[in-house]
Amino acid sequence: MMGGGVIKMVFMVLTLLCSGASFIQAEEVFLDEQFTALTRWQPFYFPKIESHSSYRVLSKDGVSCLEATSNNSASAILLKEPFNVYTFSTLAWRWKVSNVYTKGDSSSKDGDDYPLRLYVMFAYAPEKASFGEKIQYGIAKLLYGTYPPHSSLNYIWANKKETAPFIPNPYTSLAMMIPVASGQEKVGTWQEHRVDIVRDYRVAFGEDPPAVASLAVMSDSDNTGESATAYIDYIRLYKE
Protein backbone atom coordinates (compact mmCIF):
# COMPACT_ATOMS: atom_id res chain seq x y z
CA MET A 1 0.00 0.00 0.00
CA MET A 2 1.30 3.44 -0.85
CA GLY A 3 0.53 5.94 1.89
CA GLY A 4 1.48 9.50 2.64
CA GLY A 5 0.17 12.97 2.04
CA VAL A 6 2.98 14.11 -0.26
CA ILE A 7 2.68 11.06 -2.54
CA LYS A 8 -1.08 11.53 -2.75
CA MET A 9 -0.71 15.23 -3.45
CA VAL A 10 1.96 14.83 -6.13
CA PHE A 11 0.13 12.16 -8.07
CA MET A 12 -3.09 14.11 -7.79
CA VAL A 13 -1.59 17.26 -9.20
CA LEU A 14 0.15 15.37 -11.98
CA THR A 15 -3.36 15.23 -13.47
CA LEU A 16 -3.92 18.97 -12.93
CA LEU A 17 -5.89 20.39 -15.86
CA CYS A 18 -3.51 23.06 -15.39
CA SER A 19 -19.24 29.49 -4.91
CA GLY A 20 -20.83 32.22 -2.84
CA ALA A 21 -24.19 33.36 -1.42
CA SER A 22 -27.32 33.55 -3.56
CA PHE A 23 -27.11 37.34 -3.96
CA ILE A 24 -23.73 37.17 -5.70
CA GLN A 25 -23.99 37.84 -9.44
CA ALA A 26 -23.06 35.04 -11.82
CA GLU A 27 -19.95 36.82 -13.15
CA GLU A 28 -18.65 36.99 -9.58
CA VAL A 29 -18.79 33.21 -9.16
CA PHE A 30 -16.40 30.58 -10.53
CA LEU A 31 -17.98 27.56 -8.84
CA ASP A 32 -21.37 27.12 -7.18
CA GLU A 33 -21.44 23.34 -6.82
CA GLN A 34 -24.71 22.07 -5.38
CA PHE A 35 -23.86 18.41 -6.15
CA THR A 36 -26.84 17.48 -8.27
CA ALA A 37 -24.34 15.80 -10.60
CA LEU A 38 -20.56 15.33 -10.91
CA THR A 39 -20.15 16.66 -14.45
CA ARG A 40 -17.49 19.22 -13.44
CA TRP A 41 -15.44 16.62 -11.57
CA GLN A 42 -13.32 13.65 -12.52
CA PRO A 43 -12.17 10.70 -10.40
CA PHE A 44 -8.54 10.10 -9.56
CA TYR A 45 -7.10 6.78 -8.39
CA PHE A 46 -3.69 6.57 -6.78
CA PRO A 47 -1.17 4.11 -8.25
CA LYS A 48 -0.63 1.01 -6.09
CA ILE A 49 -3.67 1.73 -3.91
CA GLU A 50 -6.15 -0.92 -4.98
CA SER A 51 -8.99 0.04 -2.66
CA HIS A 52 -10.67 3.28 -3.73
CA SER A 53 -12.87 5.65 -1.77
CA SER A 54 -16.27 6.17 -3.38
CA TYR A 55 -18.07 9.38 -4.33
CA ARG A 56 -21.71 9.72 -5.33
CA VAL A 57 -24.52 12.26 -5.39
CA LEU A 58 -27.54 11.62 -3.17
CA SER A 59 -30.11 13.36 -0.98
CA LYS A 60 -29.18 13.86 2.66
CA ASP A 61 -31.25 15.79 5.20
CA GLY A 62 -33.41 17.10 2.38
CA VAL A 63 -30.57 18.47 0.24
CA SER A 64 -28.63 17.10 -2.69
CA CYS A 65 -25.04 16.50 -1.66
CA LEU A 66 -21.84 14.57 -2.27
CA GLU A 67 -21.29 11.41 -0.24
CA ALA A 68 -17.67 10.32 0.24
CA THR A 69 -17.03 6.89 1.72
CA SER A 70 -13.61 5.56 2.71
CA ASN A 71 -12.80 2.08 4.01
CA ASN A 72 -9.06 1.40 4.22
CA SER A 73 -8.95 3.23 0.91
CA ALA A 74 -7.91 6.39 -0.89
CA SER A 75 -8.98 8.23 -4.02
CA ALA A 76 -10.17 11.71 -4.94
CA ILE A 77 -12.34 13.72 -7.27
CA LEU A 78 -10.77 16.65 -9.10
CA LEU A 79 -12.41 19.81 -10.38
CA LYS A 80 -11.76 19.80 -14.11
CA GLU A 81 -11.13 23.54 -14.51
CA PRO A 82 -8.28 25.49 -12.87
CA PHE A 83 -8.99 28.96 -11.50
CA ASN A 84 -7.20 32.20 -10.61
CA VAL A 85 -6.96 32.59 -6.84
CA TYR A 86 -6.61 36.37 -7.05
CA THR A 87 -9.86 36.62 -8.98
CA PHE A 88 -11.75 34.01 -6.96
CA SER A 89 -10.15 34.05 -3.53
CA THR A 90 -13.09 33.03 -1.34
CA LEU A 91 -13.80 29.33 -0.79
CA ALA A 92 -16.93 28.31 1.12
CA TRP A 93 -18.46 24.92 1.83
CA ARG A 94 -20.77 22.94 4.13
CA TRP A 95 -19.87 19.42 5.26
CA LYS A 96 -20.29 16.78 7.94
CA VAL A 97 -18.60 13.49 8.84
CA SER A 98 -19.87 10.29 10.45
CA ASN A 99 -16.75 9.89 12.58
CA VAL A 100 -13.06 10.71 12.88
CA TYR A 101 -10.21 8.20 12.92
CA THR A 102 -8.88 6.92 16.24
CA LYS A 103 -5.43 6.40 14.68
CA GLY A 104 -5.50 9.69 12.80
CA ASP A 105 -2.63 12.01 13.68
CA SER A 106 -1.77 15.20 11.76
CA SER A 107 1.84 15.07 12.96
CA SER A 108 2.43 11.46 11.87
CA LYS A 109 2.95 9.94 8.45
CA ASP A 110 1.06 6.83 9.55
CA GLY A 111 -1.83 8.99 10.75
CA ASP A 112 -2.11 11.21 7.67
CA ASP A 113 -5.73 10.27 6.87
CA TYR A 114 -8.90 12.33 7.13
CA PRO A 115 -12.59 11.54 6.69
CA LEU A 116 -12.78 14.61 4.45
CA ARG A 117 -10.47 17.31 3.12
CA LEU A 118 -10.37 19.97 0.44
CA TYR A 119 -7.15 20.51 -1.46
CA VAL A 120 -6.26 23.83 -3.08
CA MET A 121 -3.26 23.03 -5.25
CA PHE A 122 -1.11 25.78 -6.73
CA ALA A 123 0.52 25.30 -10.11
CA TYR A 124 4.26 25.69 -10.57
CA ALA A 125 5.12 28.81 -12.62
CA PRO A 126 8.49 28.38 -14.42
CA GLU A 127 8.74 32.09 -15.27
CA LYS A 128 8.83 32.98 -11.56
CA ALA A 129 11.10 30.17 -10.40
CA SER A 130 14.70 30.47 -9.27
CA PHE A 131 17.46 28.74 -11.19
CA GLY A 132 17.57 25.90 -8.65
CA GLU A 133 13.79 25.45 -8.75
CA LYS A 134 13.83 25.30 -12.53
CA ILE A 135 16.35 22.45 -12.40
CA GLN A 136 14.42 20.60 -9.70
CA TYR A 137 11.05 20.92 -11.42
CA GLY A 138 12.57 20.19 -14.83
CA ILE A 139 13.84 16.85 -13.55
CA ALA A 140 10.39 16.08 -12.09
CA LYS A 141 8.75 16.87 -15.41
CA LEU A 142 11.11 14.50 -17.20
CA LEU A 143 10.17 11.75 -14.75
CA TYR A 144 6.41 12.30 -14.61
CA GLY A 145 5.56 14.11 -17.84
CA THR A 146 4.30 17.27 -16.14
CA TYR A 147 5.31 19.61 -13.35
CA PRO A 148 4.46 18.68 -9.76
CA PRO A 149 2.64 21.33 -7.73
CA HIS A 150 4.36 24.38 -6.40
CA SER A 151 2.51 24.02 -3.06
CA SER A 152 -0.90 23.34 -1.56
CA LEU A 153 -3.33 24.31 1.16
CA ASN A 154 -5.21 21.41 2.67
CA TYR A 155 -8.41 22.23 4.59
CA ILE A 156 -9.07 19.26 6.85
CA TRP A 157 -11.50 17.85 9.36
CA ALA A 158 -8.76 16.83 11.79
CA ASN A 159 -9.19 13.63 13.76
CA LYS A 160 -8.01 15.12 17.04
CA LYS A 161 -8.68 18.50 18.60
CA GLU A 162 -6.19 20.94 17.08
CA THR A 163 -5.25 24.37 18.38
CA ALA A 164 -2.63 25.34 15.79
CA PRO A 165 -4.12 27.27 12.83
CA PHE A 166 -1.64 25.70 10.40
CA ILE A 167 -0.03 22.25 10.49
CA PRO A 168 2.86 21.32 8.17
CA ASN A 169 2.21 18.07 6.37
CA PRO A 170 4.42 15.34 7.89
CA TYR A 171 5.74 14.49 4.42
CA THR A 172 6.48 17.89 2.92
CA SER A 173 6.76 21.55 3.89
CA LEU A 174 5.12 22.44 0.57
CA ALA A 175 1.73 21.28 1.86
CA MET A 176 0.18 23.21 4.73
CA MET A 177 -2.85 21.75 6.49
CA ILE A 178 -5.54 23.96 8.02
CA PRO A 179 -7.84 22.27 10.57
CA VAL A 180 -11.08 24.18 10.04
CA ALA A 181 -12.84 21.43 12.04
CA SER A 182 -11.32 18.99 14.47
CA GLY A 183 -12.15 16.25 16.92
CA GLN A 184 -15.45 14.56 17.72
CA GLU A 185 -17.43 17.47 19.13
CA LYS A 186 -19.13 18.41 15.85
CA VAL A 187 -19.23 14.93 14.29
CA GLY A 188 -22.61 14.14 12.74
CA THR A 189 -23.59 17.81 12.33
CA TRP A 190 -23.39 20.13 9.35
CA GLN A 191 -20.55 22.65 9.61
CA GLU A 192 -20.08 25.66 7.34
CA HIS A 193 -16.74 27.26 6.57
CA ARG A 194 -15.54 30.23 4.55
CA VAL A 195 -11.87 30.97 3.95
CA ASP A 196 -9.75 33.47 2.05
CA ILE A 197 -7.33 31.37 0.02
CA VAL A 198 -4.86 34.17 -0.67
CA ARG A 199 -4.80 35.32 2.97
CA ASP A 200 -4.32 31.78 4.24
CA TYR A 201 -1.47 31.17 1.80
CA ARG A 202 0.31 34.36 2.79
CA VAL A 203 0.06 33.51 6.49
CA ALA A 204 1.02 29.85 5.99
CA PHE A 205 3.94 30.34 3.60
CA GLY A 206 4.95 33.96 4.12
CA GLU A 207 4.62 34.89 0.45
CA ASP A 208 2.04 35.44 -2.28
CA PRO A 209 0.61 32.28 -3.86
CA PRO A 210 0.97 31.32 -7.51
CA ALA A 211 -2.05 32.59 -9.43
CA VAL A 212 -3.32 29.32 -10.93
CA ALA A 213 -4.79 26.63 -8.71
CA SER A 214 -7.04 23.60 -8.83
CA LEU A 215 -9.45 22.05 -6.33
CA ALA A 216 -9.93 18.47 -5.14
CA VAL A 217 -12.05 16.59 -2.62
CA MET A 218 -10.58 13.57 -0.86
CA SER A 219 -11.58 11.04 1.77
CA ASP A 220 -8.78 8.64 2.68
CA SER A 221 -8.06 5.95 5.26
CA ASP A 222 -5.33 3.84 3.65
CA ASN A 223 -2.77 4.66 6.37
CA THR A 224 -5.01 4.13 9.40
CA GLY A 225 -7.03 1.26 7.90
CA GLU A 226 -10.25 2.76 9.30
CA SER A 227 -13.50 3.88 7.66
CA ALA A 228 -15.79 6.91 7.51
CA THR A 229 -18.65 8.40 5.54
CA ALA A 230 -18.75 12.14 4.92
CA TYR A 231 -20.99 14.61 3.08
CA ILE A 232 -20.57 17.95 1.32
CA ASP A 233 -23.68 20.03 0.73
CA TYR A 234 -22.03 22.66 -1.47
CA ILE A 235 -18.69 24.15 -2.49
CA ARG A 236 -18.38 27.72 -3.76
CA LEU A 237 -15.49 29.71 -5.22
CA TYR A 238 -16.21 33.39 -5.72
CA LYS A 239 -15.07 37.00 -5.47
CA GLU A 240 -15.59 38.50 -2.05
Q: Where are the domains of the chain?
A: 5-231
Distance CA 220, CA 230 (A): 11
State the pLDDT at residue 77: 96
- Residue pLDDT, tens place only, 147-205: 666 789 999 999 999 889 999 988 888 899 999 999 999 999 999 999 999 999 999 99
State the pLDDT at residue 139: 76
Helices (H) and strands (E) in the chain, counts: 3, 14
Does residue 24 sit in helix, strand or coil? coil
Residues of the chain falling short of pLDDT 50: 1-3, 6-7, 9-25
State the pLDDT at residue 145: 62
CA dist 111 → 101, 108, 160 (Å): 9, 5, 11
Residues 6+ apart with CB under 8 A from 32: 19, 20, 234, 236, 238
State the pLDDT at residue 141: 67
